[in-house]
Amino acid sequence: MQLEGANGAGKTTLMRLMTSALQPTSGKVLYLGRPVQDCRYEYLDNILYIGHQSGVKMILSAEENLRWMSPASTSAAEIALALDAVGLRGYTDVPCYSLSAGQHRRVALARLSTSKAAIWYLDEPFTSIDKQGVLNLQHQLEAHLQRGGAVILSTHQNLPIDGLRTYVVEPHSDIGLPL
């Protein structure tokens, strides 16, 4: 599902509500028909969220960052492969503060290769990445969907993906910032 809307309409807020990073002042979030509070760990175990700030620590290397954000069962080879896939081969041991903004993004996106989560929440994942990166990401999204996963993302980009539904977020709708 693609979330569309003007800047500031509340797409990020909606996404954070859905991942329970934010608590709603009214209303509920349901996972498989049950309120998220009742099956919180089950739900959270099954999601992956990459927000505007990606959670990448600048003083750690790309490899260390990815290892932290991947399931414990991920092997070193899988991590190396994931970093390779986003084009960071050779940069794995360098602390992230010496990488460019686009490369930071790619470290975060490398999570998509190692994660076992079924539901992906991606907030503006296409920012700062080049054409090749955009194509790679699109392929990954399609593959994930084919495996039966779900993707909810917000982007201004046009995505030629089959079965993509759009939800338009209106500003000042009930999904507003708390007063």
Partner 1 sequence: MAAGRNWNWFHRMGSPRWFYETTGRWLPWLWVLTLGLMLTGLIWGLAYAPQDAKQGNSFRIIYLHVPASFLALAGYYLMAIAGAIGLIWKMKLSYMVMKSAAPIGAALTFIALFTGAVWGKPTWGTYWVWDARITSMLILLFLYLGVLALQYAFHSQETGNKASAILALVGTVNIPIIYKSVDWWYTLHQPATIKFTSAPSMHMDMFQPLLVMIIAMYSFYGLALILYTRVEILRRERKSSWVRELALRTQPAQVDQ
Partner 2 sequence: MIAESQGFAGYLRRDLLLAYRRRGEVASPLIFFVLVSTLIPLGISPDSARLAELAPGIIWVMALLATLLSTETLFASDYQDGSLEQLLISPQLLALPVLGKILAHWLVTGLPLTLVSPLIGLMLSLPAAGLLPMMASLALGTACLSLIGAVGAALTVSLRKGGLLLSVLVIPLYMPVIIFGSAAVQSAIDGLNWLGPLAVLAAMLSAAAALCPLAIAGALRLVSNN
Among 30, 34, 35, 55, binds partner 2 (CB under 8 A): 55
The type of residue at 24 is P
15 binds, among partner 2, partner 1, none (CB under 5 to 8 A by kind): none
177 touching partner 1, by CB under 8 A: yes
**Residue list 97-116, contact with partner 1 (CB under 8 A):** none
141: CB partners within 8 A, 6+ apart = 120, 151, 153, 159, 161
How many CB atoms are closer than 10 A to CB 148?
7
Distance CA(45)–CA(28), nearest Å, equals 19
If the CB atoms of residues 25 and 173 are measured against partner 1, the closer one turns out to be 25
Contact 107, 50 (CB under 8 A): no
45 touching partner 2, by CB under 8 A: yes
21 touching partner 2, by CB under 8 A: yes
- What is the SS3 string spanning 100-158? CHHHHHHHHHCHHHHCCCCEEEEECCCCCCCHHHHHHHHHHHHHHHHCCCEEEEECCCC
If the CB atoms of residues 19 and 136 are measured against partner 2, the closer one turns out to be 19
72: CB partners within 8 A, 6+ apart = none
80 touching partner 2, by CB under 8 A: no
117 touching partner 2, by CB under 8 A: yes
User: Helix, strand, or coil here: 157?
Assistant: coil
In the complex, minimum distance from the CB of residue 164 to partner 1, in angstroms, rounded to a whole number:
34
Tokens representing residue 96 in the block: 């992230």
User: Segment contacting partner 1 (CB under 8 A): 11-19, 34-42, 70-78, 171-179?
Assistant: 171-179
Point out which residues pair with 150 in neighbouring strands. 119
179 binds, among partner 1, partner 2, none (CB under 5 to 8 A by kind): partner 1
55 binds, among partner 2, partner 1, none (CB under 5 to 8 A by kind): partner 2
Q: Residues interacting with partner 1, by CB under 8 A?
A: 25, 177-179
Q: Residues interacting with partner 2, by CB under 8 A?
A: 16, 19-23, 40-49, 51-60, 64, 67-72, 74, 95, 115-117, 178
